Structure formats: structure tokens, C-alpha cells
């Protein structure tokens, strides 16, 4: 890694705190709305992992692309999609970022160079390599970030993507959000090599490991990682060791881990950690925190009101943009 940059100023730190709180409160509201059956289908929440998305996406430029997983609501918000457009998509409304067709797992916005959440584990990896290859062949000074979980490392796409990314020298930043569980299976029960950076390194790829629960460390590593990929025109793998506080999905009975384990990880909550650091340095007051919370609450409630007042896509439009045997309708 390069020489660390100076510690971020207070405004930057407060911005990081706000971003993480926006994700946390949005996810909590989604869980509430799911219980009220206003959000349907599958729902995978990001509570606990906020520092990874915020750290990486803040380091990207607006013209950089990124791919997410099915746990991508927070990524979309930090990349610039509005709370209104994401919440409306969760409701399946026509005003959503995908006209209500994608829902929780398939957010997408070409405008923001966000090429989708995906329900396929590891499915974004080869697409990210392709995006990076296209940029390299066109001589464009931009990179692609690809988020995926530790479970994806067991998929064939992972190995194919690592190999081709190095062979083709694609400017792709691979972000592995290692939360220790692939659905309900612990990492050490599914993979003989639990050092995931070592797996990427076996393909002669530069590979780093970072504490995904520390936003300041995560932000600095992300800054250096983005600079590495952009300047060297080579791929880089970063394993972010993190933890999800909620179950895998809303249908998950969560019988595979203990409550004590979850509570132990909650003591490393990235939001609480940054708040504590700022208080120790006299850079945040209770009034500052309350103001941020109130602003976020208003923004999220506005998104919910917007979604509830929006209509579903008209039936006669349901087949537009659909693929047919004759081509694109």
C-alpha cells in the first residue's frame, strides 16, 4: 500500500457517519415495511456492513462503474440513487429505478453506472471483467468495482474471473464482503482455505485484507485500492472482513449462529465506532448526531410517502423492453 493520507477532517467524518446511518435506517425501515407486507418477495439487509459500501463507493469517480449483489440497497444510495427511486422500486412501483420490475435484488441505474444487483451468487464477477476489458480496449481512464460475498468465492465464476482479469490486465477492483457466512453455511465449513486473499493471490493478483468494520481504515484502503487499479491498469482483490447483524434474508430462521456471536460483533458496529472516535476527539456533539438522524428520518419518510403514492406500471406496458424470438420488442 502507499503512504497513508492525513486523517479526514470533521466534515468528511460527519459525511461518513451520515452515509452509514442512511443505509442503516433505510434497511430498518425496509424490515418494518416488509413486516407490514408493503415490500414483497425476497429481502436481504446490509446492517453491520455499511463501512464497506461507504468506504469503497466514496473513493470511486462518477464515471466509474460498479456491480453489486442482492444485498445492494445501501450501495445504490451511496452511488447517488435517490431514496425515492430505491424505495419505490422496493414497493414495485413504476417510479422506481427499474419501474418496479427489479425489486429488492435487482436495482439498476445506467445513469449512475450501477450495473445491477443480482440474485446469482458470483454472477457479477465475469460481467465486471468484461466491463473492465472494454474500458481498457477503449483506453478509458476509469475502473470497475465489483462487490460479492465470501460465498461467491466457492463458485466457478470467481476462479474464471480472477484468471481472466489478470491475463487481460483489466482495471477491476474486486471487493469481497466476507461476512463469514454464505447464506447459512459458515466459511470454515464450506472452504478449506479461509484466507480469501490467498485464493485471489494464487492467480498472481495483488490481494489485500482490510477490517470492514472500521470506516476510517476502510476509506483509506479503498482510496489506495482505487488509485492502484486506475494507475497500474491492473485488477486488485480486497477482502473486507465484516459481519451482517441481521439474518441472511427475511425468510432465514438463523439457526446456524449463536446470539452471543452476533452480540459480540455488534460491539464492533462501524457506526458506533466512528461516533465514539469523533466524541473522543470532540468533533461531534449529541446535537450533531440528533440533527443527522432527523434529516435522515425525513428523507426516508419522504421516500416511503412517495412510494405509497406512486402507481404500478400500467398493464399494457408490461411487455415493453422484453426480449422476443424476433428480437427486442
- 299-327 confidence digits (pLDDT tens): 999 999 999 999 998 877 777 776 554 54
Residue 3 pLDDT grade (very low, low, confident, very high; cuts 50, 70, 90): low
Please report the sign of the dihedral spanned by the C-alpha atoms of residue 324, residue 325, residue 328, residue 329. Answer: negative
Q: For position 314, what pLDDT does the model report?
A: 85
- pLDDT tens digit sequence for 210-259: 999 999 999 999 999 999 999 999 999 999 999 999 999 999 999 999 99
Give bridge partners of residue 324 from the DSSP assignment: 327
Specify the residue for cell string 413486516: 35
CATH of domain 10-305: 3.40.50.970
In the block, cell 422496493 appears at: 90
Q: What mean pLDDT do residues 10-31 have?
A: 97
**The pLDDT value given to residue 192:** 94
The three cell numbers locating residue 157: 465464476
The whole-number pLDDT of residue 2 equals 66
Which residues face 14 on adjacent strands?
none
> Residues 194-215: pLDDT tens digits?
999 999 999 999 999 999 999 9
Count the Cβ atoms, other than its own, within 10 Å of residue 65. 23
pLDDT, tens digit, 9 for 90 and up, residues 135-189 = 999 999 999 999 999 999 999 999 999 999 999 999 999 999 999 999 999 999 9
pLDDT for res 5: 74
Separation between Cα atoms, residue 236 and residue 129, nearest integer Å: 12
Residues comprising the chain, all counted: 329
C-alpha cell at 180: 463469514
Q: Which residue, 149, 128, 108, is CA-closest to 236?
A: 128
Q: What secondary structure does DSSP assign to 76-126, as a single string? A: HHHHT--HHHHHHHHTT-TTSTTTTSS-TT---BGGGTB----SSTTTHHH
**Separation between Cα atoms, residue 150 and residue 175, nearest integer Å:** 10
Phi then psi for 171, rounded to 5 degrees?
-80, 75
Q: What is the pLDDT of residues 48-87, one digit of tens each?
A: 999 999 999 999 999 999 999 999 999 999 999 999 999 9
pTM here is 0.94
Average predicted confidence (pLDDT) for the chain: 95
Grid look-up 399494457 returns 316
- The position carrying cell 453455511 is 185
Strand partners, 186: 181
Cell numbers that stand for 79 in this block: 452511488
Amino acid at each position: 500500500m502507499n503512504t497513508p493520507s492525513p486523517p479526514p477532517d470533521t466534515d468528511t467524518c460527519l459525511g461518513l457517519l451520515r452515509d452509514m446511518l442512511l443505509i442503516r435506517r433505510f434497511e430498518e425501515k425496509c424490515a418494518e415495511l416488509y413486516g407490514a407486507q408493503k415490500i414483497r418477495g425476497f429481502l436481504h439487509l446490509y446492517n453491520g456492513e455499511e463501512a464497506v459500501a461507504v468506504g469503497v463507493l466514496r473513493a470511486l469517480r462518477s464515471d466509474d462503474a460498479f456491480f453489486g449483489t442482492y444485498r445492494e440497497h445501501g450501495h445504490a444510495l451511496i452511488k447517488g440513487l435517490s431514496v425515492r427511486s430505491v424505495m419505490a422500486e422496493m414497493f414495485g412501483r413504476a417510479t422506481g429505478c427499474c419501474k418496479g420490475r427489479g425489486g429488492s435484488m435487482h436495482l439498476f441505474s445506467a445513469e449512475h453506472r450501477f450495473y445491477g444487483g443480482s440474485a446469482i451468487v458470483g454472477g457479477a464477477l465475469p460481467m465486471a471483467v468484461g466491463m473492465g476489458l472494454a474500458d481498457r480496449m477503449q483506453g478509458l481512464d476509469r475502473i470497475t468495482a465489483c462487490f460479492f460475498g465470501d460465498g461467491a468465492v466457492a463458485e466457478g465464476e470467481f476462479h474464471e474471473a480472477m484468471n481472466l482479469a489478470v491475463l487481460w490486465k483489466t482495471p477491476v477492483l474486486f471487493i469481497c464482503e466476507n461476512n463469514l457466512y454464505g447464506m447459512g453455511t459458515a466459511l470454515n465449513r464450506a472452504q478449506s482455505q479461509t484466507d480469501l486473499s490467498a485464493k485471489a493471490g494464487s492467480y498472481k493478483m495483488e490481494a489485500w485484507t482490510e477490517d470492514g468494520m472500521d470506516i476510517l481504515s476502510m476509506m483509506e484502503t479503498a482510496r489506495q485500492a482505487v488509485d492502484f487499479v486506475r494507475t497500474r491498469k491492473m485488477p486488485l482483490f480486497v477482502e473486507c472482513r465484516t459481519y451482517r447483524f441481521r439474518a441472511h434474508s427475511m425468510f432465514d430462521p438463523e439457526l446456524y449462529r449463536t446470539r452471543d456471536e452476533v452480540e459480540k460483533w455488534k460491539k464492533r458496529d462501524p457506526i458506533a465506532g466512528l461516533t465514539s472516535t469523533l466524541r473522543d476527539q470532540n468533533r461531534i456533539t449529541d446535537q450533531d448526531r440528533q440533527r443527522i438522524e432527523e434529516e435522515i428520518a425525513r428523507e426516508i419518510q419522504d421516500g416511503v410517502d412517495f412510494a405509497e403514492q406512486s402507481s404500478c406500471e400500467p398493464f399494457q406496458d408490461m411487455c415493453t423492453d422484453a426480449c422476443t424470438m424476433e428480437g427486442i420488442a
